[in-house]
Amino acid sequence: MRPNTIAAYGRDLGRYRNFCAAAGVADIRGVGQPLVEDFLVSLAVDSEQGSALSPTSAARTLAAVRGLHGFAVAEGWRTTDPTAQVAPPRTAARLPKAIPLADVEALIAAAAAGEPPLGLRDAALVEVLYGTGARISEVVALDVDDLPLAESVLMLRGKGDKERLVPMGRHAAAAIDAYLIRGRPALSARGKASPALFLNARGARLTRQSGWGVLRRVAQRAQLEVEVSPHTLRHSFATHMLDGGADVRVVQELLGHASVTTTQIYTLVTAQRLAEEYATSHPRAR
């Protein structure tokens, strides 16, 4: 365990000890579930520094307290664990970050402006990531043989080696065609024969980390003020699809989510945007 983690747990247990002492409980055997619940409530109201703890920090504190009482039971100091039925605080759903379509287009333009053959590869990479909503690991794992012979459909292998068919838009298909004709042959000639669709500057398969690097460099050239990663394009794909009226079940299938509840977080993004638009546009919203 890292020193910073140990120090954090020490502070958490010190806070718990002080709370129990203030409640008149000096022995761990005298702690009951109501006292633990009161302590958890107190974390959301006030801390020793005079400010409430975030749900994440409160959950970490409860984990430390659970560890303490679990140790007490294991050592025979008491027979029951008063934290066993205490649920940790729920953390707010972290909304995915999506960028506007204008930023996506600026990203694609900046990629295409790069010197060939890498510029052609980068443009195709960005187009495929945004055009399919695929994970970067799925895209760099693509082989040339995975490309469709006729229809613009990609076969992606997701988590658990589950395969799914994902349609490509004409922009992504055109970018791949340009890369295959004028970009990939030059990169392939620099290394050993590789079946990979996306190659690095040495002619080997592009890695997941290298794909992140491509996005960072292209975003800098596009002078975007927000941080852009492959997952940013995946989030943007889902958000823009739902904004355009796509059914959440369809987006679930395209993203390769095992459960629709994972996909539904994107509906929170669009609902939040609607609320913001209403608040700024409707004459009686404020």
Q: Which residue has the tokens 């609320």?
A: 275
Altogether, the residues listed in the chain come to a count of: 286
Catalytic residue (one of 66, 205, 217, 231): 231
d(CA 168, CA 254): 11
Q: Could you confirm whether 159 is annotated as catalytic? A: yes
Among 9, 16, 179, 266, the one annotated catalytic? 266
Do the beta carbons of residue 119 and residue 111 sit within 8 Å?
yes
Choose, from 135, 184, 235, 240, the residue flagged as catalytic.
135
Annotation says 208 is catalytic: no
Residue 78 is among the residues annotated as catalytic for this protein: no
Which of the following is catalytic: 11, 29, 159, 249?
Answer: 159
Cβ contacts of 220-229, under 8 Å, gap ≥ 24: 221/110, 221/111, 221/113, 221/114, 222/103, 222/106, 222/107, 222/109, 222/110, 223/106, 224/99, 224/103, 224/106, 224/107, 226/97, 226/99, 226/103, 228/99, 228/103, 228/107
Dist CA 228 CA 113 (whole Å): 18
CB 64 within 8 A of CB 16: yes
Q: Is 234 a catalytic residue?
A: yes
Q: Cα(125)–Cα(172) distance, rounded to whole angstroms?
A: 9
Cα–Cα–Cα angle for 188, 189, 193, nearest 5°? 55
Q: Which candidate in 121, 234, 235, 240 is catalytic?
A: 234
Residues 213, 198: contact at Cβ < 8 Å?
A: no
Cα 259 to its chain centre, rounded Å, is 16
135 is catalytic: yes
Counting DSSP H helices and E strands in the chain, the numbers are 13, 2
- Supply φ then ψ for residue 83, to 5 degrees: -95, -5
Per the annotation, the verdict on 273 as an active-site residue is no
Instruction: List residues with catalytic annotation.
Output: 135, 159, 231, 234, 257, 266
